[in-house]
Chain A
Amino acid sequence: MITAEGLGKRYGDKVAVDDVSFTVRPGSVTGFLGPNGAGKSTTMRMIVGLDRPTSGRVMINGQSYTDLRAPLAEVGVLLDAKAVHTGRSARNHLRAMAATHGIPASRVDEVIEITGIGSVARKRAGGFSLGMGQRLGIAAALLGDPHTLILDEPVNGLDPEGVRWVRQFVRHAASEGRTVLLSSHLMSEMAQTADHVIVLGRGKVLADAPLPELVRAWTTERVHVRSPRAAELADALAGTDVEVTSSDRFTLDVTGLPASRIGDIAADRGIAVHELTPTSGSLEDAYLALTGDSVEYRTREVPQDVAPLEEARA
């Protein structure tokens, strides 16, 4: 269990984290989302005592990280891939970490095997690819078999097999009752991994809710309809709170009515329906809707002129 209470961090005039409170519960995977510069990494660094909060506090199982007697056995941390001396071999890095807690060399070899870095374990970490560095960071986080895992962008740079391994691993850890806090920019990956989501934006908590609830609250369900008499059906569906858009003569996109109701109305009028597909929003849609105003480093909208391309194909 990780508990942040009124946590704040300010660097000079710049407020990185602003009065943030949340609880990360054991037995589930909590996703930590937010645009670049939202304060996720700073918050994670404060959890493990690297940065000192300017206000508030954050506790792990009721204790401040700096008071833990066996930090590696309580918390496994992956902050970024570059927390390793480039001139030291992966195995020696893990041995040095393990030595602080009297963790035996057999466990070092175990985490090397688990994370699949056996073939490079005796090579200098400076030459590692991003993915290998990431695996080494995960290996270090696992050394003490910790109750709590804090992983900042763990799948960054991993190959698909590694991404899947991380997903299965954190799901498994949560199923054993461990506490998992995980940040990622890959929304589809997060949607498959997290049970609960905390969204940060400009240093504040924008949302803190179970993932399905968050998606429901921040996206609208749409129903995609195909019918030879689309225009007629559109008229029949019209009403308050119902929005119907049409991209061509035979298709409609309806919001504000459930698919069952649309089917019933069509049947009442004897209108044939060839397709009726409810599409729920994705975590990505919910995330973008939530953080729309709090993106610090905004990119320019890419013009979406699809039509010419379609014509060219035709």
Chain B
Amino acid sequence: MTAIQARATHIPTTASHVSLGRQLRSELIKLLSVRGTWWSVAIVAVLTVGIAVLFGANLPEGMNDPIMVIVAPVQFTMLLAGILGVISVTGEYSTGMIRSTLTANPRRGSVLAAKAAVLAAFLFAVSLVIFVAAALIVTPILAADGVTFDWATPDAAILPILSASAAMALFSLIGVGLGFLLRSGAGAIAVTVGIIFVLPVIFSLVGSFLPDLTWLIDVANYLPASAAPSAILPSDLSALNAAEAWLTLGGWAAVSLVAGWAALRGRDA
């Protein structure tokens, strides 16, 4: 440290108060400046394009919904969205960064709101880009089978892609809430995997052994992994209609965030 202590304290800064916009900017800088974010994005991109290409090259007979090829990988990548949400929070706890965050802005509710908003917007934007890229890559493969995306009809292409991106955003919010609630990366990732991947398996296992428990199947429809396909590609065959599916996904995200907020607000950091 050089002997310029006079400068250390005399330089007038234009520092002013905390605002939500500034808080969002800070959270965006934080999200974009760690490697974990870009690893997650890379894995989502590889999985989405890879699965879409495989699926597109082995199209089942009579496929009349080609956009399915592009949005189907969400069944896997939604877990990464959740995990990215988790580590954006638990990374702060494990390193002590949370203390810097909360001293810079002691209003904890706005810290959570800003982080949630940035994660959701980032996941939405990144997913959108990846889905469109996957569609462009798969287009010539599908063309070999004489199948094309119907970009002119919103329901047939654009809407499912937007919906899938929104679902990815909601899954990241489930992760953010769980991160604040549990603080430990391992714990919160385990619970996220449990909710997204393990619970559906348990429900279907129990359901197959005890087929009389029809309410169990009804409940299983409201798991996030079951609601997501109904929200992205609504069909008369799915148990939930589009509105119900979105309410279910939104409900999971909301409950998780409220639980995280309660923990953040009440506990010492």
Q: Which of B9, B13, B16, B26 contacts A96 (CB 8 A)?
A: B26
- Distance between Cα atoms of A51 and B98 in the complex (Å): 13
Chain B residues 83 to 105 lying within 8 A of chain A, measured CB to CB, are 91-92, 95-97, 99-100, 102-105
What is the count of residue pairs linking A and B with beta-carbon distances less than 8 angstroms? 158
- Distance between Cα atoms of A250 and B3 in the complex (Å): 48
- Given A68-B106, A101-B104, A142–B8 Cβ distance below 8 Å? yes
* B9 near A101: Cβ-Cβ < 8 Å: no
- B124 shortest CB reach to chain A, Å: 21
- Given A71-B106, A95-B29, A85–B18 Cβ distance below 8 Å? no
Kindly specify which of A28-36, A73-81, A264-272, A304-312 makes contact with the partner chain: A73-81
- A28 shortest CB reach to chain B, Å: 15
* B15 near A145: Cβ-Cβ < 8 Å: yes
- Distance between Cα atoms of A178 and B9 in the complex (Å): 10
For this complex, into which size category does the number of interface residues on chain A fall? 35 or more
Q: Which of B1, B11, B35, B104 contacts A71 (CB 8 A)?
A: B104
* A85 near B22: Cβ-Cβ < 8 Å: no
* A71 near B18: Cβ-Cβ < 8 Å: yes
* A85 near B97: Cβ-Cβ < 8 Å: yes
Q: Which of B19, B23, B103 contacts A48 (CB 8 A)?
A: B103
Q: Which of B15, B92, B102, B103 contacts A85 (CB 8 A)?
A: B92
* B26 near A169: Cβ-Cβ < 8 Å: no
Select from chain A the residue with minimum beta-carbon distance to B265: A52
A69 interfacial by beta-carbon distance below 8 Å? yes
- Given A162-B1, A176-B9, A87–B18 Cβ distance below 8 Å? no
Select from chain B the residue with minimum beta-carbon distance to A75: B103
Chain B residues 67 to 125 lying within 8 A of chain A, measured CB to CB, are 91-92, 95-97, 99-100, 102-107
- Distance between Cα atoms of A100 and B18 in the complex (Å): 6
- Chain B 126-158 per-residue mask, 1 if CB under 8 angstroms from chain A, else 0: 000000000000000000000000000000000
Select from chain A the residue with minimum beta-carbon distance to B100: A83
- A93 shortest CB reach to chain B, Å: 8
- Given A84-B97, A96-B29, A66–B18 Cβ distance below 8 Å? no
B269 interfacial by beta-carbon distance below 8 Å? yes
B36 interfacial by beta-carbon distance below 8 Å? yes
Interface centre among B7, B8, B96 (most CB of A within 10 A): B8
- Distance between Cα atoms of A95 and B33 in the complex (Å): 10
Chain A residues 130 to 161 lying within 8 A of chain B, measured CB to CB, are 135, 140, 142-145, 161
B12 interfacial by beta-carbon distance below 8 Å? yes
* B35 near A52: Cβ-Cβ < 8 Å: no
Instruction: Kindly list chain A residues whose C-beta atoms are within 8 Å of the C-beta of B14.
Output: 102-104
* B99 near A50: Cβ-Cβ < 8 Å: yes
- Chain B 238-264 per-residue mask, 1 if CB under 8 angstroms from chain A, else 0: 000000000000000000000000000
* A70 near B100: Cβ-Cβ < 8 Å: no
- Chain B 34-52 per-residue mask, 1 if CB under 8 angstroms from chain A, else 0: 1110000000000000000
* A88 near B18: Cβ-Cβ < 8 Å: no
Select from chain B the residue with minimum beta-carbon distance to A147: B9
Select from chain B the residue with minimum beta-carbon distance to A159: B1
* A70 near B18: Cβ-Cβ < 8 Å: yes
Interface centre among A52, A102, A166 (most CB of B within 10 A): A102
* A114 near B4: Cβ-Cβ < 8 Å: yes
Instruction: Kindly list chain A residues whose C-beta atoms are within 8 Å of the C-beta of B99.
Output: 50, 79, 83
* B268 near A84: Cβ-Cβ < 8 Å: no
Instruction: Kindly list chain A residues whose C-beta atoms are within 8 Å of the C-beta of B16.
Output: 70, 73, 101-102
Instruction: Kindly list chain A residues whose C-beta atoms are within 8 Å of the C-beta of B34.
Output: 85, 87-88
* B104 near A82: Cβ-Cβ < 8 Å: no
Instruction: Kindly list chain B residues whose C-beta atoms are within 8 Å of the C-beta of A292.
Output: none
Instruction: Kindly list chain A residues whose C-beta atoms are within 8 Å of the C-beta of B91.
Output: 85, 87
B5 interfacial by beta-carbon distance below 8 Å? yes
A249 interfacial by beta-carbon distance below 8 Å? no
* B7 near A114: Cβ-Cβ < 8 Å: yes
- Distance between Cα atoms of A89 and B3 in the complex (Å): 25
* A87 near B269: Cβ-Cβ < 8 Å: no
* B11 near A49: Cβ-Cβ < 8 Å: no
Instruction: Kindly list chain B residues whose C-beta atoms are within 8 Å of the C-beta of A165.
Output: 1-3, 5
B6 interfacial by beta-carbon distance below 8 Å? yes
- B193 shortest CB reach to chain A, Å: 22
- B262 shortest CB reach to chain A, Å: 14
A188 interfacial by beta-carbon distance below 8 Å? no
- B168 shortest CB reach to chain A, Å: 23
Q: Which of B27, B96, B103 contacts A84 (CB 8 A)?
A: B96
- B119 shortest CB reach to chain A, Å: 15
Instruction: Kindly list chain B residues whose C-beta atoms are within 8 Å of the C-beta of A100.
Output: 18, 22-23, 26, 104-105
* B96 near A83: Cβ-Cβ < 8 Å: yes
> Which of B's residues lie within 8 Å of A, judged by CB?
1-9, 11-19, 22-23, 25-27, 29-30, 33-36, 91-92, 95-97, 99-100, 102-107, 268-269
**A-B pairs, 6 with minimum CB distance:** A165-B1, A99-B26, A92-B33, A69-B17, A82-B96, A85-B97
